[in-house]
Amino acid sequence: MSVKPLVPISLQVNGRPVALAVPPSTLLVDLLREQLALTGTHQGCDTAQCGACTVLVDGAATKSCNVLALQVNGARVLTIEGLENADGSLHPMQQAFGRHHALQCGFCTPGMVMRGVAMAAEGVPAEAQAVSQALCGNLCRCTGYRGIVNAVCEGLQHMRAHAPGGAAR
Ligand code: FES
Ligand code: FES
């Protein structure tokens, strides 16, 4: 049996430089969860359908089960663990999820929050229909979505009020 060579990659994860060698077939979600212990990124379907694994790659919402680690070589990756503010307080999008009781089991929540954060830079209006459409790639089996949509609308309003331009980081 031939052993596949490891390939060196370097990237920035939650503001910290990371350099390591991985098998070429390594998925980004596995790199995050298994090699970097960032288990806040959840793994649901593994087929790019549920959105639980959503992270930001260079600011864009990305399903990390659908991307090879090699494809993010040199990129900036932001996960739910990197979202809190410098003083340790929760990001406005996280606070909005709490205020609107936008989670039950919480499995979808990291992906929903990251998708919501990405909407700020995408220019998605903070209103229910636009947010619902933008969330079409993120599935929740518990909440019925109303709280999630309301939370994302409020989170977007806060992000835009406090960071003109709406950048996540
Ligand atoms: S685990 Fe990636 S979309 Fe479901
Ligand atoms: S809160 Fe349970 S899947 Fe969304």
Boundary (domain end) residue, out of 16, 51, 82: 82
SS3 sequence of 65-112: HHCEHHHHCCCEEECHHHCCCCCCCCCHHHHHHHHCCCCCCCCCHHHH
Instruction: List the structure tokens of 92.
Output: 């406005």
The count of other CB atoms within 10 Å of the CB of residue 128 is 14
CA–centroid distance, 12 to ligand 2, in Å, is: 29
User: Is position 148 within any domain?
Assistant: yes
The pLDDT, as a whole number, for residue 166 is 47
Helices 109-122, 146-162: inter-axial angle, 10-degree rounding = 40
Residue 38 belongs to a domain with what CATH number? 3.10.20.30
Identify whether residues 158 and 99 lie together within a single domain. Answer: yes
- Our mutation pick for probing the ligand 1 site, out of 31, 33, 41, 49, counting the most ligand atoms within 8 A of Cβ, is 49
Tokens 């694994």 belong to which residue? 53
In ligand 1, which atom is closest to the CA atom of 53? Answer: 2
Identify whether residues 125 and 99 lie together within a single domain. Answer: yes
Boundary (domain end) residue, out of 21, 55, 82: 82
What does the mean pLDDT of the chain come to? 94
SS3 content of the chain, % helix, strand, coil (to 5): 40, 15, 45
Identify whether residues 51 and 76 lie together within a single domain. Answer: yes
Contacts of 38 (CB under 8 A, 6+ apart): 13, 14, 32, 79, 81
The DSSP output letter for 130 is H
Total count of domains within the chain: 2
Residue 41 pLDDT exceeds 90: yes
pLDDT in tens, 15-37: 999 999 999 999 999 999 999 99
Identify whether residues 146 and 123 lie together within a single domain. Answer: yes
User: Is position 135 within any domain?
Assistant: yes
CA–centroid distance, 164 to ligand 1, in Å, is: 31
Identify whether residues 72 and 102 lie together within a single domain. Answer: no
Identify whether residues 96 and 78 lie together within a single domain. Answer: no
Identify whether residues 19 and 59 lie together within a single domain. Answer: yes
Q: How far apart are CA 113 and CA 96, in angstroms?
A: 9
Boundary (domain end) residue, out of 64, 82, 100: 82
In ligand 1, which atom is closest to the CA atom of 66? Answer: 2
In ligand 1, which atom is closest to the CA atom of 45? Answer: 4
Identify whether residues 16 and 70 lie together within a single domain. Answer: yes
Instruction: List the structure tokens of 5.
Output: 């060579």
Q: How far apart are CA 169 and CA 152, in angstroms?
A: 17
Residue 96 belongs to a domain with what CATH number? 1.10.150.120
Residue 56 pLDDT exceeds 90: yes
User: Is position 87 within any domain?
Assistant: no
Residue 91 pLDDT exceeds 60: yes
**Predicted TM-score of the model (pTM):** 0.94
- Our mutation pick for probing the ligand 2 site, out of 107, 149, 152, counting the most ligand atoms within 8 A of Cβ, is 107
Q: Which domain holds residue 139?
A: 92-162
